[in-house]
């Protein structure tokens, strides 16, 4: 009798090793670009009466050696902390066998999202940052900042880290977590933006990174924008950069470029290409002529499926999680 595996936050964290996840996310980008993936547009259910929304993200991908399917059901409810003592964002991932649709696993989608978001930034950094990048700036010291540093330090030999956030307590917690591994300090947005690699992970709707703050050869992972109106980088940064996106429909709707794109400040001609095109080799990554590069990441369902695949396979190997008879097959 087949059983469904329940994997909580700790199970997901334990069974997803970052180097393997980065490789799986890279495979996912390649599959999507090569036409070996299906990813319907992210759908939204808006709930203004609760100041929140639901989002559904289904996908299937065939990476050659493996294929996988699943759907993530995720919310954004900003009032959750104050009203219910719950996280603003919670996700649940259903991971299924593509051949027969059996629900292989139910996974904590929140931890999964943090890990795959970091891995996506690492893939982009590997292709777009200077080879000898050794410094990293991070703007925003929330939960996403931790996986940004963990993942990117897998693809570049990061030594110096500058963390910038208005919340001094969050900055202190971040420094405490990493001071044994990196030369890390608090700094201004301008100091962070001068680093070889910069990740922005904030929810702001007015740009906070001015053009004159960014280093001449800085690679930026713009990770914070995930809804209409969000915008972290000054328009001049985007216009001057080699601009790479994850998906045209999502980035123009809710990514870093959504505001200048819909205002007509930025057009398709200003977009260099998609990260999948670079991964499969149809377009170049960083070249000697490049200055600033930007990766606009909205987060794709194929990334969630790839991460669920890694988590599930290792959970089976390690006998982790809780197996249960979701479909009641034992009664038949």
Q: What is the pLDDT along the chain (332 residues), one digit of tens a residue?
A: 799 999 999 999 999 999 999 999 999 999 999 999 999 988 889 999 999 999 999 999 999 999 999 999 999 999 999 999 999 889 999 999 999 999 999 999 999 999 999 999 999 999 999 999 999 999 999 999 999 999 999 999 999 999 999 999 999 999 999 999 999 999 999 999 999 999 999 999 999 999 999 999 999 999 998 878 899 999 999 999 999 999 999 999 989 999 999 999 999 999 999 999 999 999 999 999 999 999 999 999 999 999 999 999 999 999 999 999 999 998 66
So what's the pLDDT on residue 298? 93
User: What pLDDT is recorded for position 332?
Assistant: 61
Which residues make up each annotated binding site for NAD(+)?
Answer: 116, 143-144, 224-226, 230, 297
pLDDT at 180: 97
Encoding tokens for residue 269?
Answer: 């001609």
Helix (H) or strand (E) holding 103: strand 103-108
Could you tell me how many residues make up the chain? 332
The whole-number pLDDT of residue 33 equals 97
Sign of CA dihedral 53, 25, 292, 278: negative
Please list the residues that pair with 103 across neighbouring strands. Answer: 96
pLDDT at 42: 87
Handedness of CA 203, 205, 211, 217 (dihedral sign): positive
- Point out the residues that are catalytic: 72
pLDDT score of 330: 83
CATH 2.40.30.330 fits 130-296, yes or no: no
- pLDDT of 112 reads 97
CB–CB of 214/236 below 8 Å? no
Residue positions forming the annotated binding site: 116, 143-144, 224-226, 230, 297
Is residue 171 within 8 Å of residue 192, measured between CB atoms?
no
Number of H helices, E strands in the chain: 12, 16
Q: Look up tokens 């194929």; give the residue.
A: 302
Query: Which residue, 210, 283, 217, is CA-closest to 244?
Result: 283
- For the chain, the domains span 4-113+301-324, 130-296
**CATH code matching the domain that covers 4-113+301-324, chosen among 3.30.1780.10, 3.40.718.10, 3.40.50.80, 2.160.20.10:** 3.30.1780.10
């Amino acid at each position: 009798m087949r059983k469904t595996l329940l994997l909580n936050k700790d199970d997901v964290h334990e069974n997803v090793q970052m180097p393997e996840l980065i490789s799986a996310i890279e495979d996912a980008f390649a599959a999507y670009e090569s036409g070996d993936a299906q990813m319907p547009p992210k759908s939204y259910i808006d709930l203004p009466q609760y100041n929140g929304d639901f989002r559904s993200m289904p996908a299937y991908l065939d990476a050659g050696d493996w294929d996988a399917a699943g759907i993530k059901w995720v919310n954004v409810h900003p009032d959750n902390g104050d009203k219910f003592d719950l996280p603003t964002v919670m996700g649940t991932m259903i991971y299924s066998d593509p051949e027969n649709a059996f629900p292989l696993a139910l996974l904590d989608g929140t931890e999964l999202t943090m890990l795959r978001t970091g891995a996506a930034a690492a893939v982009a950094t590997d292709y777009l940052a200077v080879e000898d990048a050794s410094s990293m700036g991070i703007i925003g010291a929330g939960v996403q900042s931790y996986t940004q540093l963990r993942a990117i330090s897998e693809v570049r030999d990061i030594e110096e880290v500058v963390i910038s956030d208005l919340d001094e307590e969050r900055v202190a917690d971040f420094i405490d977590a990493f001071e044994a591994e990196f030369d890390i300090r608090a700094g201004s947005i301008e100091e962070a933006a001068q680093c070889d690699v910069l990740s922005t992970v904030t929810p702001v709707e007015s740009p906070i990174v001015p053009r004159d703050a960014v280093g001449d050869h800085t690679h930026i992972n713009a990770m914070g924008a995930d809804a209409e109106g969000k915008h972290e980088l000054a328009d001049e940064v985007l216009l001057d950069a080699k601009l790479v996106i994850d998906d045209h429909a999502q980035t123009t709707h809710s990514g870093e470029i959504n505001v200048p794109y819909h205002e007509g400040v930025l057009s398709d001609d200003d977009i260099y290409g998609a990260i999948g095109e670079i991964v499969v080799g149809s377009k170049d990554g960083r070249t000697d002529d490049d200055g600033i590069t930007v990766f606009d990441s909205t987060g794709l369902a194929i990334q969630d499926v790839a991460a669920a695949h890694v988590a599930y396979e290792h959970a089976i190997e390690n006998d982790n999680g809780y197996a249960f008879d979701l479909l009641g097959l034992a009664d038949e």
